[in-house]
Amino acid sequence: MEVLTLLCIDDRPQLLELRRELLESHGYRVETALSGHTAMKMLEDTPVAAVLLEYKTEGMDAEAMACHVKLHFPSIPIILLSAYSCMPERILWLVDEYVMRSELSERLIPAIERATGRSHPDEARRPASRRHAA
């Protein structure tokens, strides 16, 4: 199975490193960007399966970043990460998935799988009637 590359955008290096460890432990390749400018350059040079975008970052408007990604890279899904439980509707229309940071451990991998159209290897082996029973 092909290894998918994810681009994580956040201005906090410690959170990026934790996210990298989590995602790599699930078999993903991870690229990181500390700014929107860096992320845009990386998207031009590196094919990615999805973008994980932190909502609140210093010096970067997540809504503008999501607009830019959708405009220039419309086939790349965006997964919005935030500590906030309520998000403005206008940004939710721009992203494919939304995961609260407090729920990352349970919801991030399933959100990535839905956004990229790839199921977890164990999920594919379960009978269809049991896949969504939780």
pLDDT in tens, the chain (134 residues): 689 999 999 999 999 999 999 999 999 999 999 998 899 999 999 999 999 999 877 777 889 999 999 999 999 999 999 877 778 788 888 899 999 988 888 899 999 999 998 765 444 333 333 333 33
Look at residue 133 in the predicted model and tell me its pLDDT. Answer: 34
Look at residue 1 in the predicted model and tell me its pLDDT. Answer: 64
Contacts 24+ apart (CB under 8 A), 88-95: 88/63, 90/63, 91/55, 91/62, 91/63, 91/66, 94/63, 94/66, 94/67, 94/70, 95/53, 95/66
**Does domain 5-131 correspond to CATH entry 1.10.3720.10?**
no
Look at residue 39 in the predicted model and tell me its pLDDT. Answer: 93
